[in-house]
Amino acid sequence: MKKIIAVAACFAVLFSVHVFVQALPAFNFDSETAIYEEEKAADLIPEPRKMVAITFDDGPTDITIQILNDLAKYNARATFFVLGNRLERFPETTQRIVNEGHQIGNHSFSHKRLNRISVQTMKNELDLANEAIFKATGVKPTIMRAPYGEHDKNVLEAAAARGMAVIKWNIDSIDWQPGTAVGNITQRALKNVQAGDIILLHDLYPETGVASAIIIKELTDRGFELVTVDELIEYYSTEMEPGAVYISGVKKFSVADGVDFDEWYESNR
């Protein structure tokens, strides 16, 4: 009799479990797995990087050394558009620019207005600067910036023939203006800065040396990565196009587009 009661109790328990399981909501393994995989994939997608390129013209000088020291403090990189006729006076600084991961660009040999001299003289300015840079560093520049940011079709064609893109800027600190205070330089550089911007400074003035330290720290504190021009353009656009003009990481002018540069620049700056 006891065996019969025990067996009956077992059946009752099994029946209760069966009823409970039937009452549970259906679990769609395929659907749940897909959701899990989707969430897992989303976790692997990196956050967009906030990159800015700080650029310095007219060096190298003693100010360049100070700026390199400040960049090193924050593991930041920058781009230096150098004058060919200055390199022999600052060989160690020039080599240091390259050794510490910064980019070096052609700013002509003697800072002539490239669009106001003969085509041959303009080409000589670019070639002499490239030769001086290569002699000092072993690097062949892939970017240039015309003095005063002034260029014409001949300059763009010469740059393209030498494998160089033309780099302008979309944030001007106006540190070149006589009597500009450190506070004004930093405010102009930082006020409206966004990811993809190219900032213009000059490693020529003591005020810029002081302002650069503030700018580098502030941009780093805001979460920006300070990178070279080629890193910026590679991330936000594509591979750099020789002879094309870049005013930021995302805005490019090309002669092949068939539009007037001045009109394009006014609508895109």
- Known catalytic membership, residue 257: no
Q: Are 149 and 167 spatial neighbours (Cβ–Cβ below 8 Å)?
A: no
Q: 107, 197, 202, 203: which one is catalytic? A: 202
Q: Considering 57, 70, 203, 230, which one is annotated as catalytic?
A: 57
Copy the structure tokens of residue 143: 């970017």
Bridge-based pairing state of the strands 225-226 and 198-202? unpaired
User: b or e along 131-164 (b: 16 or more beta carbons within 10 Å of the residue's beta carbon)?
Assistant: ebbeebbebebbbbbbbebebeeebbebbbebeb
Distance of alpha carbon 183 from alpha carbon 78, whole angstroms: 21
Query: In the annotation, is 62 catalytic?
Result: no
For the beta carbon of residue 3, count every other beta carbon within 10 angstroms: 7
Q: In the numeric block, which tokens belong to residue 192?
A: 């409206």
Catalytic residues: 57, 202
